[in-house]
Structure 1
Amino acid sequence: MNIIYNDYKKGMDDTGESAVSFNVFRNSFKSFNLAFHKPKKDKCGLCESIKNKTASGDMNATDRESYLTYMNEKYATYAEYKEDTKETKENASLIVASFDLQRVLTTPHSDSTLMYYARKYAFYNLTVYENRNGRGTCYVWGECDGRKGSTEISTCVSLWLQDIDKELGEHQQLDIVLYCDNCPGQNKNRCMFSMLYHNCQKLPGVRSIQLKFLLTGHTYMGAHTVHSTIATFIKKRTIMAPSQWPFVIEMARTNPSPLLVRKLEYSDFEDWESLQDNYFPKTLDCEGNRIRWSALREIKFTKGYKCAEIWYSSYTKDISRTDMLKRRSFDQIQVYRAYSKKRLISEAKFKDLMNLCKKMVIPKNFHEEYSSLPHSVQEHDHLDESDEEDGTQE
């Protein structure tokens, strides 16, 4: 609003006329029922490119054909998502859910300018949202307990699958359909696929697991609504320590039910990444074609079936199959812990947090929590795995 007012004032000065006050200008602006557009978090690169090419007249026949194929895929994916959501409400043996990692929750979380330039402790939240009943389960952990990579995400989904299996009655079996985005470092990788296959064969109540990837920039998952609710709830709240996050997240939603929060420690994470060569040793499918991992739209595992079914398009539904478990039998494979001890934070980050404690920006009752964080001068601040989606189209 200030920028618009300054432009207005400059225009009035150029014409030699008197400008109204800022308050009068703001009230007049609001009377037109106008608002500032806030861009969405995710935008489709292809859609933006086509929009700009159309505006500049640079659109050619190849672009039109590519865009038409993409739009067919977009509408087919959305229709499939709607159909799965409808079916899960009518079919008791089908569970449809989505999962996503929320943006990093930095701690301390406050509007104080004293915290603006200080390095903060990272806290993570992986949410699983069940479409049938709106139940949301949040798996949370701090950066000393784990990263935000494929092993951590796979562990969270594995724990959710195990919880679902425990809720089932005797002899009851489920088909599970999961939706997520295209982030290759977290979701679309052999680590995740290995975990899903392992649980499909191991859990008695799971008959099949199907993982479907929504198009980049066109994700519409229930997990996003949970993250939006949490973001709104904490917007004007102060969270001073990592230990407060589970309680804050639990209170963020009341309808249709409070969020279920499970705090994870370093010992809870399982090393699924080390198993991927046992389950996915090949790069070719059963027909001898190269498996295009980045182009996958769906992958399905069925109990007692040693092949994964793969779809590269939700529109054409052409199916491919790849053999699993080439090196050892299923019974010989064990899942080990990913970490034997807590991870370290950098000395620089630790000093920044201690400085906030020293200045009493962080209340005294939280000082011990921060002073006990493991740290080392050999540990450097680094970027964790990217949570950007893979927009590659093959």
Structure 2
Amino acid sequence: MYDLCREQCTERGLEPVKLHKYRQICNQQFNIRFMKPKSDRCDTCESHKMNDEKGVQSSEKDREAFARHTFLKDNAREARQRDRESSSAVLPRSNVSNFYYRRKLSVYNLTVHYSLDKSSYCCIWNEAEGGRCGNTIASALLKVLDQFTQENPTINNIILWSDSCVAQNRNSLMSYALLSFMRAHPHIKILTQKYSEAGHSLVQEVDSVHSAIECHLARCEVFSPVTLIRQLLSVRRNPKLMILQMKHRFSVL
């Protein structure tokens, strides 16, 4: 919010106030509170933490497993930060999340965020077109990648970040889909898949997009997939969300 305020002041040729003044006005005059976004807790880390608090002595096997878990978590975070700072195209993506509406029709959204220009893609389909299996997820990602390459024809190195869900992301269907994508786009020289350590998501950009969508949908009523797409186009994001619709005939696997 403060960044948007600064941008608006700059466009109007005004000097923006400092962050502490902005917080003071929001808290005291508009009754708006600021809080740290919540994050999911890792089962492994929480179990280790509870054992420490209770004074339970972990076995040597458990200590080795936790040490490996911590190493993989830190290693993935460092690799993610290096990719953020590189010139390669980094596309973190999340698990599909479903929306449950009054007409009881599930609509799914695969969100992809492009790190270089901060653009976001939402690939939408309903349960009549497909579910959340690996085949559908891979097809949705290919649709996003096709659109991405059309808009960024000079990109030849892509890094994909996702969570480590085997059923949706980390499987042979996804690998075959990405291989098919590279064959169809020979100018893509390198395509790398990277995964977060289980329980520690490193795709916060996608989480931010989902948070903006949830905040927007909380203020409106949605009765059909068409209405949902119209509302997604109205979500306050800069740049605006790119909405892609999946059709059953698009499935490529």
Distance 1:226 1:38, change over 3 A: closer
1:107–1:242 contact (8 Å) kept in structure 2: no
Superposed CA deviations along residues 38-63 of structure 1, whole A, max 9, x for unmatched, are: 963x3211101101111222233333
Match of 1:187 among 159, 162, 169: 169
Alignment of 1:181-330 (within 5 A): 181-221=163-203, 222-255=205-238, 257-270=239-252, 272=253
CA deviation after TM superposition for structure 1 residue 143, in Å: 0.8
CA deviation after TM superposition for structure 1 residue 133, in Å: 1.3
Match of 1:121 among 105, 108, 128: 105
Question: For residue 50 of structure 1, what is the aligned residue in structure 2?
Answer: 48
Question: For residue 364 of structure 1, what is the aligned residue in structure 2?
Answer: none
* Secondary structure of 2:49's aligned partner: helix
Superposed CA deviations along residues 187-216 of structure 1, whole A, max 9, x for unmatched, are: 111100111112123312211111111012
Question: For residue 144 of structure 2, what is the aligned residue in structure 1?
Answer: 160
Question: For residue 175 of structure 1, what is the aligned residue in structure 2?
Answer: 157
* Secondary structure of 2:106's aligned partner: strand
Question: For residue 80 of structure 1, what is the aligned residue in structure 2?
Answer: 79
2:99–2:107 contact (8 Å) kept in structure 1: yes
2:96–2:132 contact (8 Å) kept in structure 1: no
Moved over 4 A (4+): 34-39
1:149–1:185 contact (8 Å) kept in structure 2: yes
For residue 101 of structure 2, what is the amino acid of its counterpart?
T
Report which of the two has the higher share of helix: 2
Rounded to whole Å, the distance in 2 between the matches of 1:37 and 1:209 is 34
1:45–1:217 contact (8 Å) kept in structure 2: yes
Rounded to whole Å, the distance in 2 between the matches of 1:247 and 1:194 is 33
Distance 1:39 1:163, change over 3 A: closer
Query: Aligned-pair RMSD on alpha carbons?
Result: 2.3
Instruction: Flag the structure with larger Rg.
Output: 1
For residue 215 of structure 1, what is the amino acid of its counterpart?
E
CA deviation after TM superposition for structure 1 residue 230, in Å: 0.4
Question: For residue 139 of structure 1, what is the aligned residue in structure 2?
Answer: 123
Where in structure 1 are there 5+ consecutive unaligned residues? Answer: 1-33, 89-93, 109-118, 273-394
Q: Normalising by structure 1, report the TM-score.
A: 0.52
Where in structure 2 are there 5+ consecutive unaligned residues? Answer: 1-32
2:51–2:57 contact (8 Å) kept in structure 1: yes
* Secondary structure of 1:233's aligned partner: helix
CA deviation after TM superposition for structure 1 residue 245, in Å: 0.8
Q: Normalising by structure 2, report the TM-score.
A: 0.79
Rounded to whole Å, the distance in 1 between the matches of 2:84 and 2:230 is 30
| Amino-acid identity (%) | 22
Rounded to whole Å, the distance in 1 between the matches of 2:83 and 2:237 is 25
For residue 107 of structure 1, what is the amino acid of its counterpart?
Y
* Secondary structure of 1:77's aligned partner: helix
Structure scoring higher RCO (CA < 8 A, sep ≥ 6) equals: 2
Work out the number of aligned pairs and report it: 219
Question: For residue 148 of structure 1, what is the aligned residue in structure 2?
Answer: 132
